Chains A and B, each alone.
Chain A
């Protein structure tokens, strides 16, 4: 997290930082408050702006789904929130976790949060446990690191009850990881994360590598999390159904930005952003006979399109879209979207709300 890396060039028409919707200026009940977070990777081609001025809030026990196409920065955001980025990444902005800003925090203090304050569940359960260590040793090591006063018996007791909660019988406590199936290993990983009772967990596509039945089981477990442990959850997934089933809120990400965020039922029931609508339409449902897909591909994050990142693919793009960055607008209580369709009208110059045609896009890009 070296902050001395090359800054990505600031877009000229960037709105001032405080022009964000007032609704996100929350009180101290927040567990996590992210403001204008930017994360970029230094590469030979220039900075990859994987997270571009993201703001969001999470209350204790709340489950937030994070969706969006591949490569739009979901994993980067999730890892950034935990201070677990690779050395090539640089960050800027503010991540206030339990009142302390993680950005600029010393590596030692950051490490002391890993485990007891927050944890991460990964996509690949098969390779996340040390093959040379018994399941019991994983738990003993984890508990001993953070609670050195715990006796062996107490640690064992804690571990077994966490495992039992995930449906792993105590008889398997001293087994090695390779003796378990993928689904069981993911449940062990979840138990290993929850045994420290963290306040916040990021789960990055925790079921992508698993089959459908196991997936349903894991989703149920994650949905139970906030009820039984008061653990806040950021659930990254491509599966909107999982979000609908297990999350309170959802954030839709496109090209490094959160384009829409709100209550799951509100967002899925009345999507405000064209990208969310396209995303929902591309989900297979029994009602559709053919597969809808969004034309084009997400942009290159080294050189993203100006203005609204989605305008080259947006069926409703207007002349203002490539010219100016859309600002967050509260479309309903606790439901925000960044799209010029929702104004604010005061920022759209006269005549700029005309439809953008294919030809006009090229011209606007030139401008």
Chain B
């Protein structure tokens, strides 16, 4: 036992040590991409709105008149200190934008993940187990449609059906205006703040607002998940250890659930970790569609305004999120699969 937990600790340390170079590579990429655009960012964002003197002052404040190497060094310092400077257009600290809107994005992505797993795991399992039967064909079709349908289109349909025709659920924003005003901000996660303040009705209101965006984004991921689980389950159902378990007379429900399904989930964990980019991309589009006040919709706003400082800060946070999630996924894999730890 001691040896095993020791090797687990060593594995985690190795994995943690990798985080630094991974973040470094990603943020460097972000920095380079942001400089590839021609012209200087300040005039792009504010040209024509400010006097040349004011522009130059802003440029100087943002450091765009310094050599690239110096800018890069300052950028790295910003990343380490988590201080991404002031936005160019509305002159807010980027960090404030991230904090104010990050909670909404976190709420949305986590809720979407819950939807994705709640829909994708049972459907993928069913399709894989009863391969080529009518339910399998139906489930596969469902998975392809939810994956291939553009987010705004799926969102629009849900808005029309559940918001307009049935009038069951709100289709815009994170909460009603009264709730937004009444819930005291503590964690910047509105759902949690409502709960902490003991405002049960506000909590329900936020939850109702969350359903349609979470389902929209969740179904996008569920499509991927269904396919993954199905393919892997078909494979593990044919595996040697499944046949051996049947030869020992293990009940079919246990053969599927305990042996085949569990083994099918091992690669699913890894591949779903790689879908974090899809999740973040989908979150941006979902936030746009549902007017959800997350950093995704802020990113779109600042992109339209050509506010490079804000965009760079937000994308950097996305990049760090990708690295952190991939670390988490590796930890989960190590817990699930004993072979990874060696």
Q: List A residues at the B interface (Cβ < 8 Å).
A: 82, 84, 111-116, 119-120, 122, 124, 127-133, 141-142, 145-146, 176, 178, 189, 192-193, 196
7 A-B interface contacts by CB (under 8 A): A112-B249, A115-B248, A119-B247, A132-B337, A141-B258, A142-B248, A178-B339
Establish whether residues A176 and B339, one from each chain, have CB atoms under 8 Å apart when the complex forms: yes
Bin the interface of chain B by size. Answer: 20 to 34
Establish whether residues B241 and A131, one from each chain, have CB atoms under 8 Å apart when the complex forms: yes
A227-B99 Cα distance, complex, nearest whole Å: 75
B244 contact from A82, A129, A145, A196, Cβ within 8 A: A129
Q: Which residues of B in the span 237-281 have a Cβ within 8 Å of any Cβ on A?
A: 239-241, 243-252, 254, 258-259, 262-263, 266
Number of contacts between A and B (CB, 8 Å)? 76
Establish whether residues B248 and A193, one from each chain, have CB atoms under 8 Å apart when the complex forms: yes
Q: What residues of A have a CB within 8 angstroms of the CB of B189 in the complex? A: none
Nearest CB on A from B258, distance (A): 7
Establish whether residues A145 and B251, one from each chain, have CB atoms under 8 Å apart when the complex forms: yes
Establish whether residues A119 and B248, one from each chain, have CB atoms under 8 Å apart when the complex forms: yes
Establish whether residues B339 and A127, one from each chain, have CB atoms under 8 Å apart when the complex forms: no
Establish whether residues A132 and B250, one from each chain, have CB atoms under 8 Å apart when the complex forms: no
Establish whether residues B338 and A120, one from each chain, have CB atoms under 8 Å apart when the complex forms: no
Establish whether residues B336 and A132, one from each chain, have CB atoms under 8 Å apart when the complex forms: yes
B342 adjacent to chain A (CB < 8 Å) = yes
CB nearest to B260 among chain A residues = A130
Say whether, besides A176-B339, A178-B338, A130 and B245 are in contact (CB < 8 Å).
yes
Establish whether residues B249 and A116, one from each chain, have CB atoms under 8 Å apart when the complex forms: yes
Nearest CB on A from B325, distance (A): 23
Q: List B residues at the A interface (Cβ < 8 Å).
A: 239-241, 243-252, 254, 258-259, 262-263, 266, 336-339, 342
Establish whether residues A111 and B249, one from each chain, have CB atoms under 8 Å apart when the complex forms: yes
A111-B245 Cα distance, complex, nearest whole Å: 11
Known: A129-B244, A193-B248. 11 other contacts (CB 8 A): A112-B249, A114-B247, A114-B248, A116-B249, A127-B241, A130-B245, A131-B339, A133-B258, A141-B258, A142-B248, A145-B249
Establish whether residues A113 and B249, one from each chain, have CB atoms under 8 Å apart when the complex forms: yes
CB nearest to A196 among chain B residues = B248
Nearest CB on A from B236, distance (A): 10
Q: Which 9 A-B pairs have the closest CB atoms?
A: A115-B249, A114-B249, A127-B240, A128-B244, A176-B338, A120-B247, A130-B241, A115-B248, A142-B248
Establish whether residues B240 and A192, one from each chain, have CB atoms under 8 Å apart when the complex forms: no
A129-B244 Cα distance, complex, nearest whole Å: 8
A119-B247 Cα distance, complex, nearest whole Å: 6
Nearest CB on B from A194, distance (A): 11
A127-B238 Cα distance, complex, nearest whole Å: 12
CB nearest to A137 among chain B residues = B258
Q: What residues of A have a CB within 8 angstroms of the CB of B266 in the complex? A: 132
Establish whether residues A130 and B259, one from each chain, have CB atoms under 8 Å apart when the complex forms: yes
Nearest CB on B from A20, distance (A): 30
Q: What residues of A have a CB within 8 angstroms of the CB of B240 in the complex? A: 122, 124, 127-128
A145-B246 Cα distance, complex, nearest whole Å: 11
CB nearest to B239 among chain A residues = A127
